[in-house]
A = this chain, B = another copy of it.
C-alpha cells in the first residue's frame, strides 16, 4: 500500500479545533486507502514561548553570563511537538481510527550532536513500518531526533519539513505533502506584488534556490533531502481540501522543451545582517559561525576584508553569536538595514540575467549591489526600505 507522509506546521495545529480539522484530513487520506504518516510541529507559537521562558528563567536565576546550554534548550523545546503528536493521536482515536504517536527518537531519526541545529544523518523507521503494517496511522513529532550519543536533538527552524521529507525518503513514500498557511509557491510574495502568479510545478533545484533565497515555503535542508532522495513534494494550504491550488515539485531541471513553462520568481529576504571582518580573520569568522550553527547566504572576500550576509531567520540568537564573534575578532563590523533580493528560475544566462536585474533596478532608481549570479539565481543587496519597490520592479520586468 502506498505510503503518504503529511506534514502540518504550527499554524495548522494552533488550537484544539485546528487539530480536530487535521484529524479529519488525515482520516480521509487513510480511508482513501493509503498508509499515512503524519509529522507535526508544535502548536502555534509554542516553541517561541518556551524559548522566551528559558531566557526569562536564566535572567531571573543569575547573571554569571552562562547562556542556556543548547542541550537543555533541546530538552525544553522538543516537548512542543510531543504535545501536538499526542493530541492528534487522541483526536484520531476519538474518530475511531487506530493511531500511535512516536517521538523523533522512537521514529529512528538519528542526527549529529549539534544541539539546537542538528542535521539528520540517517533514518531507521522500523517502529513506524511495524505500526503501518498493523494498519495504524503513525504520528511523528517533527523537528527532533536523537544523536548518536542518545541525546535529544532539534533540527533548527523549519526542521519539521526536514523530518517529513527524510521520513518520506526512508519509507519510500509515494509523496510528501507539506501543509501550511500558504498554498505553495508564487512568483513573488502576493502581499507585495499584486499580480504574483501561483506556480503549480517547480523543479526541486529551483525550489532549493527559492528556499535558500529566503522563500518561506520550505526549509532548505528539507528540499536538499528531497533532491537527494527524489521525494515528490506537494505544498498545500491546510484549508484547501481539494488540493486545487498547490505546488508540486518536479524532479531535476526542466528540459529545453519545457522552456515555455519556465519558472521564475522574485524572493526578498529581510532582516539581514552584513558582517565584515579583516581578511586575516576569515578563518576565525567561518569557524565561529560554524560552531554557532549560523548559516550565511553570501560570502565576499577581498585582500582587505571579508563580508558575509546572515539572514536573521538563520540565527536564533544573534546577540549570542555577536558576542562569540567579538570575543575572537576585535575589528568586527555589523550592518543592519539592508535586505537581499533574488531572482530565481531556470535557464538564466550567466552574466545576462544579472545584467537585466541590475538595469531594471537602475531604471527604477534603486541602488543595488550584485552579490551572486548562478544559472538558477541572481541575488542583489538593496536597502530594506527599497525591498518592496524593487520586488515589484523585477517582477514586472523579468518574471
Considering the complex, give the chain B residue whose CB is closest to the CB of A88: B57
Are B94 and A66 within 8 A (Cβ)?
Answer: yes
Q: What CA separation (Å) do A12 and B55 show in the bound complex?
A: 20
Q: Which stretch of A14-22, A271-279, A378-386 is in the interface?
A: A14-22
> For residue A23, which residues in chain B have a CB less than 8 angstroms away from its CB?
61-62
Are A72 and B94 within 8 A (Cβ)?
Answer: no
For residue A87, CB closer than 8 A to chain B, the reply is yes
> For residue A56, which residues in chain B have a CB less than 8 angstroms away from its CB?
16
> For residue A94, which residues in chain B have a CB less than 8 angstroms away from its CB?
57-59, 61-64, 66, 68
Q: What CA separation (Å) do A67 and B66 show in the bound complex?
A: 45
Are B89 and A58 within 8 A (Cβ)?
Answer: no
Are B95 and A69 within 8 A (Cβ)?
Answer: no
For residue A75, CB closer than 8 A to chain B, the reply is yes
Considering the complex, give the chain B residue whose CB is closest to the CB of A22: B61
Q: What CA separation (Å) do A53 and B86 show in the bound complex?
A: 10
Q: What CA separation (Å) do A82 and B154 show in the bound complex?
A: 15
Considering the complex, give the chain B residue whose CB is closest to the CB of A93: B66
Q: What CA separation (Å) do A53 and B23 show in the bound complex?
A: 15
Are B91 and A62 within 8 A (Cβ)?
Answer: yes
Q: Among B16, B17, B24, B73, point to the contact of A86 (Cβ < 8 A).
A: B73
For residue A332, CB closer than 8 A to chain B, the reply is no
Q: What CA separation (Å) do A87 and B19 show in the bound complex?
A: 27
> For residue A17, which residues in chain B have a CB less than 8 angstroms away from its CB?
60
Contact indicator per residue, chain A 5-31, by CB within 8 Å of chain B (1) or not (0): 000000000001101100110000000
> For residue A64, which residues in chain B have a CB less than 8 angstroms away from its CB?
94-96
Q: What CA separation (Å) do A100 and B149 show in the bound complex?
A: 14
> For residue A82, which residues in chain B have a CB less than 8 angstroms away from its CB?
75-76, 78-79
Question: In the complex, what's the smallest C-beta–C-beta distance from A195 to chain B, in angstroms?
Answer: 39
Interface size class, chain A: 35 or more
Are B93 and A58 within 8 A (Cβ)?
Answer: yes
Are A91 and B20 within 8 A (Cβ)?
Answer: no
Q: How many copies does the complex hold?
A: 2
Q: What CA separation (Å) do A96 and B66 show in the bound complex?
A: 6
Given contacts A20-B61, A92-B61, A94-B63, contact A72 B86 (CB under 8 A): yes
For residue A90, CB closer than 8 A to chain B, the reply is yes
For residue A83, CB closer than 8 A to chain B, the reply is yes
Are B90 and A60 within 8 A (Cβ)?
Answer: no
Considering the complex, give the chain B residue whose CB is closest to the CB of A95: B62
For residue A50, CB closer than 8 A to chain B, the reply is yes
Q: What CA separation (Å) do A295 and B308 show in the bound complex?
A: 64
Question: In the complex, what's the smallest C-beta–C-beta distance from A134 to chain B, in angstroms?
Answer: 14
> For residue A24, which residues in chain B have a CB less than 8 angstroms away from its CB?
61
- Most B CB contacts (10 A, CB to CB) among A20, A62, A64 go to A62
For residue A249, CB closer than 8 A to chain B, the reply is no
Are B72 and A76 within 8 A (Cβ)?
Answer: no
For residue A285, CB closer than 8 A to chain B, the reply is no
Q: Among B57, B62, B67, B92, point to the contact of A16 (Cβ < 8 A).
A: B57
Closest 4 pairs (CB-CB, A-B) = A61-B91, A64-B96, A76-B86, A62-B95
7 more A-B residue pairs beyond the given contacts A63-B94, A76-B82, with a C-beta to C-beta distance below 8 A: A16-B57, A19-B57, A50-B83, A53-B87, A64-B96, A68-B94, A72-B90
Residues of A within 8 A of B (CB): 16-17, 19-20, 23-24, 50, 53-54, 56-64, 66-69, 71-73, 75-76, 78-79, 82-83, 85-87, 89-96, 99-101, 103, 106, 150, 152
